[in-house]
Structure 1
């Protein structure tokens, strides 16, 4: 999968607003960590004083003042370091929470068809591992950059104060560390991009294989699935090994540069002592400053490498955030809110539609006027556009041309939530959650009373079997409702739909996958569900089409209509859209 290429600064600017809401904590954290670095530098300077004024002349009386100062600096530095580290971690965790919420909220507005191209496992990988990697660039990196740079400056100034000649020798290694970091960062970015993509593919493959384990075992395809998982796992391993090779080389390269610099400093320092330009204590202090300065320079280089690496994860998240959502603009003045109660009159006016990226028109020139309360069967061959009608009515997609009216109001000018509040979808897959039976029924209307919930279950012919469960309505349904039979899951889904009391229904193959007994059992609940509502029944089941007021047959994107007992315009006309 190709991602839009962005630079680390551009990636940082994209996600920085989520950190900036806690900018005060970021600033205080950076200040505290710089105070800790300053305390370290002061303590190192005291080492030189103790060497020259206490150890060399063996003057114990001169020990107590520097020792007390050193202890004070150590306590101050420890407190500042602990507080600064906690604030930095607090900021990072809040960033992770905010970014994950933002990405998930965006995904909830993306049409389901558009999500399919990512794969569930890949999306989970982006919402977990990729977000944590982005955090290292946007939330952690600024504090690390400020504190490392400030520490480098503090220790460099102290080193120059001690011996400017040795300091120049030390800092001559800085350009080498910088260029090495830039070069390794470019390579690491490419390696990380490959690793994150492979991780997403493997997660999707594992999720798919585990979800279909019944079929895998029944068909004896375990070896084939193991082979697919192994091949993708090997690709992930290779991408990871490439990262490891780069990291393994970068670290020792920096250490080699540091070793050469230290040897040069020791040699030059020995010469300065022999010429009486520097004391032994001064050389010890400088060596200590050097021991702190080189790690800071190394940290700055690692930040560059990490930023380049994290940019690959940023690209994957930006790709998700750029995936188109259903427009939910403010209602247009010429489209007033739906008048309550909503009757459920549905009109398609010359509606055409093509899926994004497809040049083929799924629907074109569809004209329908469905009066409230009619049961409309939608039939046709696979791929004819039956489900597309429902998706357009739910505003999962917008028509390419024409418009759709609900009670005479153009739904494109109404908030998405308002449109969907008046439409109930009963999908082909019952789609139960890993919760109790009660929670699954109440998902249709969380504020419903106990009496309303039980009434819906009774109407759906579910109350009887639910009452026999060990904990009744508090019995766990299991993941995807696996604790229930197929017919039981369908009846729970029917109860959930009945509880919504929405005036428009979309039923997608409600009897698919059920045996004759289960189908016969839900026929009465289906009739109760559709009574008094405008219902679009997508089906191939002739037993259902025979009960319909209207039958729409889709073929090649066009609609033909038959009315077993009614005309397409039976009943009151939809109200015209207000000017």
Structure 2
């Protein structure tokens, strides 16, 4: 999606619907903008009236007249202050709410994306898109309609008022405004590209930082702090380079503004002087004219300078839309139904699977039937498709060809939520969320009572060590559970699945990274967990699956052997060789 080009009008068209819930706030904001604009434009007319009055008859200027004009202007200033307060406070809150809505939509969409998206996209880039890239949307959402509305009102009213003073001079002055816009367009386009590059690079910087911090122990173990520092320095310098490029185009904008600023005042000085010399404009009118031109130039200058904020906002919106346009590969069919009363039988029928970025198939024409409550183990060399088979059942990926059935129902005809609700997964790499032990177990069923959570911990063999922790179930586990041992984390993850109470259980090398004592404790917990459930176990340690009802041996050719431990040893085939090799290593 990053290579797709979006036109500004398309980006604005996609952004405008976010104003809909706040249209009343926006309309009131624009009304306030109109009031502040009116206040700015009326002052020169008051001064013109006073100057002309004094020129005609100085004695007509009385204290009462001055007081009346001052009173009118004071009221205008009070209105201006109230309107500006509303625009600054409520307008910004509206922008922040729109930013919040967009961030929620982006997060919700990301949650629906398949594993393929996360395999090909850096987490740092994703984080940058839903945090940093949307920061400027608050300012954009508030100021964009406001600035253009104010500019439009000021230009139109200024043109009308100035034309009434002197149409010829007004025509000459206004010829330069479209020229300024035309000369600014090229810099505008370049600035947009520069901001896009800046956003991409800050995402890379975030990715580098995240990678180094998550792998900090590996970095320290290999004493490679200098290497990581050099990598970060390189990315940091690239980011500096993109900012330099951005500032170059911003400076170009500034030059264009200054040049046209000078030209328009020069024209006013020369043409105005000639017109006044020939009696085509009064001195007081030229003074007021100058005030209006100053206001007009300030407005145009403000719009030109707003182009920086505009492009920042456009870049944030574009990066947001790139996420929203990422295809959701895994979704509920229109006729998908809730899964109820699950028994747990699974069937693969002519299933093939290959990743999108390669033509090679991981699985080809797999046919497999697993009975309700059956304990099936998957063994074989890496790359044989064991994990892929297990990932297809909860639809982390969809089959390239063929179908998978749960209780004789095609899993694509089952809602994703109800399908995954009935599948429990225990992996080798346990992920615990930053929070307490209690929070992490409760993740399996957020509605569970404290008693149910403690019971799940007891079934997982975790209650004893949890009770010995400083704060028991309220102990903070640290990011990714860093404060706990591997065996402790694994038992907490098992307690989480106990609490979920699924009918189907997938054990993905759940004990392979543990020491002997932890493996023994976790294996006992897994035996209790697997009782009464259809269980698929991926294992490299063949000793852990000898009691399986059935063992499937997979390699690049698919399922090459099938049977229980004793039957497969008697065949003296692939499983026998794997078993003998494991014994030799042991």
Q: Shorter-chain TM-score category?
A: over 0.9
Distance in structure 1 (CA, Å) of the matches to 2:224 and 2:478: 25
Aligned-partner Cα distance in 2 for 1:447–1:517: 33
Cα 1:482/1:327, change in 2 over 3 Å: closer
The offset of 1:311, in angstroms, is: 4.0
Partner of 1:5 in structure 2? Answer: 5
Q: 1:242 to 1:565 in 2, by over 3 A?
A: closer
Question: What's the offset of the Cα at 1:525?
Answer: 0.3
1:3-56, Cα deviation, whole Å (9 max, x unpaired): 201110011112322222322222221122022101211122112223333598
Displacement of 1:2: 4.5
Deviation of 1:91 after TM superposition, in Å, equals 2.2
1:267 aligned partner: 270
Deviation at 1:149, TM superposition (A): 1.6
Asked whether the 8 Å contact 2:250–2:308 carries over to 1, the reply is: no
- Render the CA deviation track for 1:101-127: whole Å, top value 9, x for unaligned: 111111101123321322111111111
Instruction: Decide whether the 8 Å contact of 1:434 with 1:481 is kept in 2.
Output: yes
Q: Which residue of 2 aligns with 1:513?
A: 513
Q: Does the C-alpha gap of structure 1 residues 63 and 337 become closer, same or farther in structure 2, counting only changes over 3 Å?
A: closer
Evaluate the alpha carbon distance shift between residue 507 and residue 161 of structure 1 in structure 2; reply closer, same or farther with a 3 A threshold. farther
1:60 counterpart residue number:
62
Secondary structure at the residue paired with 2:58? coil
TM-aligned CA deviation for residue 257 of structure 1: 0.9
Q: CA 1:199/1:300 → structure 2, altered by over 3 Å: closer, same or farther?
A: same
Q: What is the match of residue 104 of structure 1?
A: 107
CA RMSD of aligned residues (A): 2.2
Secondary structure class of the residue paired with 1:229: helix
TM-score (norm 1): 0.92
Tell me how far 1:473 sits from its aligned partner: 0.6
User: Using a 3 Å threshold, how does the CA distance of structure 1 residues 68 and 136 change in structure 2: closer, same or farther?
Assistant: closer
Cα distance change of structure 1 residues 158 and 561 upon mapping to structure 2, 3 Å threshold = farther
Q: Comparing 430-439 with 269-278, which one deviates more in the overlay? A: 269-278
Give 1:484's aligned residue.
484
Deviation at 1:566, TM superposition (A): 10
C-alpha distance in 2, partners of 1:67/1:277?
Answer: 30
Distance 2:566 2:367 in 1: 17
Deviation at 1:98, TM superposition (A): 0.8
Question: 1: CA distance between counterparts of 2:508 and 2:317?
Answer: 38
Give CA deviations for 1:353-379 in whole Å, capped at 9, x if unaligned: 111232111111111111111221112
Aligned 1:97-136 pairs, distance under 5 A: 97-134=100-137
Counterpart for residue 20 of structure 1: 20
Match in the other structure for 2:414: 414
Q: Deviations over 1:304-340 (max 9, x none)?
A: 56545544444433332232324433452xx764342
- Which of 197, 200, 204 is the equivalent residue of 2:203? 200
- 1:373 matches 2:373: yes
Partner of 1:38: 38
Within a 5 Å distance, the mapping from 1:416-495 to structure 2 comes to 416-495=416-495
Q: Deviations for 1:375-430, whole angstroms, at most 9, x for unmatched residues?
A: 21112222222221122111112111111111111110111101111111222221
Q: Which moved more, 1:275-284 or 1:173-182?
A: 275-284
Between stretches 490-499 and 250-259, larger displacement belongs to 250-259
Distance in 2 separating the partners of 1:423 and 1:68 = 75
Instruction: Give secondary structure in 1 for the equivalent of 2:368.
Output: strand
Give 5+ residue unaligned stretches, structure 1: 569-579
Between 322-331 and 187-196, report the one with greater CA deviation.
322-331
In the alignment, the residues of structure 2 paired with residue 66 and residue 13 of structure 1 have an alpha-carbon distance, to the nearest angstrom, of 45
CA contact (8 A) 1:121 1:207 kept: yes
Q: Distance in 1 between matches of 2:98 and 2:145?
A: 13
Kept in 2, the 8 Å contact 1:156–1:167? The answer is yes
- Which whole-Å CA distance do the structure 2 matches of 1:16 and 1:464 have between them? 56
Hey, which of these two has a bigger chunk of helix by percent?
2
Q: Which moved more, 1:115-124 or 1:59-68?
A: 59-68
Q: Return 5+ residue gaps in structure 2 as ranges.
A: 569-586
CA distance in 2, matches of 1:542, 1:354: 27
Distance 2:323 2:233 in 1: 27
Alpha-carbon contact 1:103-1:320 (below 8 Å) kept:
yes
**How big is the shift at 1:230?**
0.8
Quote the offset at 1:557 in angstroms. Answer: 5.4
Aligned pairs (5 A) from 1:217-228: 217-228=220-231
Q: How many residue pairs were aligned?
A: 565
How far the C-alpha of 1:492 sits from its partner, in A, is 0.9
Aligned to 1:547: 547
Matches of 2:25 and 2:333 in 1, distance apart?
A: 35
Q: Out of 417-426 and 281-290, give the one that drifted further.
A: 281-290
Query: d(CA) in 2 for partners of 1:565 and 1:314?
Result: 58
**Which region of structure 1 is more displaced relative to structure 2, 285-294 or 295-304?**
295-304
- Equivalent residue of 2:343, what SS? coil
Q: How far apart are the structure 2 equivalents of 1:95 and 1:210?
A: 32
Question: What is the deviation of 1:303?
Answer: 4.9
